[in-house]
Amino acid sequence: MTGAQPKLWIVISRPDRLPTAIAVAQAVGAQFPGGVHLLREDSKWWDRAHWQPYAGRFDEIHPFPRVNTCRGLRDLPRLYRESAGRREAIAQLPIDKARDLIVCVGGILTISNATISAHPEAKKVLCVAEKVYRDLTRIGERTRYRFTTSGWLQNRIVEPMAGLNRTIHFKPRINPGGDGVRVERLQKNPDSLYHRIVVMSNGGADVSNNPKIIGAKFPSVAELQNLPQVSDKNGDCSSRQVIFFGTPFLLIHNVSPDVYVERLNSCLDYLRRNFSGHALIYRPHPNETNEADPALNNGINGYAMYPVFPFTTQQSEFFAGVMGDVPAEFTINDLNSPPVPYQPIAAGSGRSFAEALQLTVEQKIAS
């Protein structure tokens, strides 16, 4: 590999991480003349996403198969073969430990764990939301959590044999959230596996005195440059749109499906009243089946409507935790009042995502 140009390797699992991956490439790609490579975990989510127009932002894209967890001893051989096979395939990538940089976006499990396990000596950066970082560094109290069956088998048998960093999967003894929650993290603290960690939040403030932890604002789609124009189904690329994200309410019964459909239709009527002239677009949850069938026809300022559903206090607190530290304008509490326009955020507050990435690259080069 003598004389090879440094390369940037960006690792994501789901297509919803693609805008952040593009932001990484935009921020520091020019400093890696060997090319910008995207590693992605192939799944049905990618089949449902219209992502191909953005593939040109990367010099090469490397898809790797998704590895499903197991539920019992009989399935362990399959889990081992697939886990070890994916790690070995990633190990064959020409990643130069002295020159290249690996950036994992969104999480530390699945394909990210396989990549850093296959290339332990390469320089690595992790980009995660502040809530995810808190979860990754949270200790699962044995009085509140227990190992899941698949988590125990993966930890004790499959991952050590496959050469992977061990993961921990804890399940609450008493379910505290509407969707059910898990503590999923690597056995080691992330800062022992990654050279730098970019922790993203709305304000971009630092969350730790650890010099390896760098605070940054979430990257905005508005900051991305030279994106291709993508037309809607009518061939119109200039129409204003409202995108409504669905949920698998036939699978997860936080409230009964009949009640959910009634409240969902009220939410869609709300959008029609307050966003007339916009194209209404429905984006299904990856685990949905025919949830959209009993609802009215569905068609970016972002708004969350979970407060208008009759969830229990415990469920509402769970969803509020999932949303994280969001502006007050983000939440719709009353379907009889129009949404509150977003107020501008002071331009000088916090560190931008691009600045944080530049800082990590400068520190990598200096080290």
> Which pLDDT value is given to residue 89?
97
Element (H, E) at 83: helix 76-91
> Which pLDDT value is given to residue 295?
66
**143 pLDDT exceeds 90?**
no
> Is 55 in a helix, a strand, or coil?
helix
**146 pLDDT exceeds 80?**
no
pLDDT in tens, 239-251: 677 888 888 878 7
CATH domain 8-227+350-366 topology = Rossmann fold (3.40.50)
CB atoms within 10 A of CB 222: 6
Which pLDDT band holds residue 140 (cuts at 50, 70, 90)? Answer: low
Measure Cα distances from 51 to 18, 56, 75, 201 in Å.
8, 10, 33, 25
**302 pLDDT exceeds 80?**
no
pLDDT in tens, 318-336: 888 777 777 788 888 899 9
Q: How far apart are CA 260 and CA 253, in angstroms?
A: 9
> Which pLDDT value is given to residue 328?
81
pLDDT, greater one: 313 or 104: 104
Residue-range domain boundaries for the chain: 8-227+350-366, 241-330
Q: Which residues contact 184 (CB under 8 A, 6 or more apart)?
A: 109, 135, 167, 168, 169, 170
> Which pLDDT value is given to residue 300?
55
> Which pLDDT value is given to residue 81?
94
**238 pLDDT exceeds 60?**
no
As a whole-number percent, the residues of the chain with pLDDT over 70 amount to 85
